[in-house]
């Protein structure tokens, strides 16, 4: 899908009260950003924010951080958050490859929802379930308690990810190849309306 560039998107996003600028400054200090010691869960590639905002609304005792590398996409998130008064959600503008610059061992769960499938073989290393990314994730979890949930409409990416998780020492706790749960992304809603199955997996390590 072609990304629509929004003029001055970087400036617009910085006006959001939930946006954290220079997130590198808060490594190992995110509990101070939220002003509590509640668990922190992150979504890598949060899109327009439907999933994580719903999570934050329904789980006030959990802190959420949405990660998105395109500031134009975060403009949509800002518009939604401006209508709410949520203290337990923050958004940051970084690439997933830079997670270790932003987080220490602070994260309780990672969500990977509808990540780019990078279908061409030469692009496999860009997949968020490729070994190099899994190695990064291992280093941000609290007490090495790895907990990842993934959803995708792409069957090939899903099968690849299952094997990648297993090879990396993960235990598959739940697999559902046609899930319809409470918390949905904007893409997920559209796929379900069209009758496309949604793949889900939860893994721990």
What confidence tens digit (pLDDT) does each residue in 157-167 have?
Answer: 999 999 999 99
CA angle 61, 48, 111 (to 5 degrees): 50
Catalytic residue among 8, 71, 116, 138: 116
Mind listing the pLDDT tens digit for each residue in 109-152? 999 999 999 999 899 999 999 999 999 999 999 987 889 999 99
Mind listing the pLDDT tens digit for each residue in 77-99? 999 999 999 999 999 999 999 99
63 DSSP β-pair partners: 40
Beta strands in 59-180 (DSSP E): 63-67, 89-92, 109-113, 147-152, 171-176
Question: CATH number of the domain at 9-21+39-204, out of 3.40.50.150, 2.60.120.10, 3.60.20.10, 3.40.50.300?
Answer: 3.40.50.150
Which of the four pLDDT bands, split at 50, 70 and 90, describes residue 4? confident
Strand bridging mode 199-204 / 147-152: antiparallel
Please tell me whether the overall predicted TM-score, pTM, comes out greater than 0.85 for this model. yes
Domain ranges of the chain: 9-21+39-204
Which among 177, 125, 172, 127 has a CA at the least distance from the CA of 151? Answer: 177
What ranges in 47-92 are assigned the alpha helix state H?
50-58, 71-81
- Can 95 be counted among the known catalytic residues? no
């Amino acid at each position: 899908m072609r990304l629509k560039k929004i003029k001055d998107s970087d400036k617009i996003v910085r006006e959001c009260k939930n946006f954290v600028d220079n997130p590198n400054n808060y490594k190992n200090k995110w509990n101070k950003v939220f002003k509590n010691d509640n668990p922190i869960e992150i979504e890598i590639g949060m899109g327009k924010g439907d999933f994580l905002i719903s999570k934050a609304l329904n789980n006030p005792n959990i802190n959420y951080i949405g990660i998105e590398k395109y500031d134009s996409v975060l403009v949509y998130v800002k518009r939604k958050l401006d209508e709410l008064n949520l203290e337990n959600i923050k958004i940051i503008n970084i690439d997933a490859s830079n997670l270790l610059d932003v987080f220490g061992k602070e994260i309780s769960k990672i969500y990977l929802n509808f990540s780019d499938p990078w279908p061409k073989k030469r692009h496999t290393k860009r997949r968020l379930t490729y070994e190099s990314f899994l190695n990064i994730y291992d280093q941000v979890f609290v007490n090495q308690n790895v907990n990842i949930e993934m959803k995708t409409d792409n069957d090939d990416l899903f099968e690849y990810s299952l094997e990648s998780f297993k090879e990396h020492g993960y235990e598959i706790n739940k697999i559902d190849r046609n899930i319809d749960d409470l918390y949905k992304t904007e893409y997920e809603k559209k796929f379900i309306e069209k009758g496309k199955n949604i793949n889900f997996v939860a893994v721990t390590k």
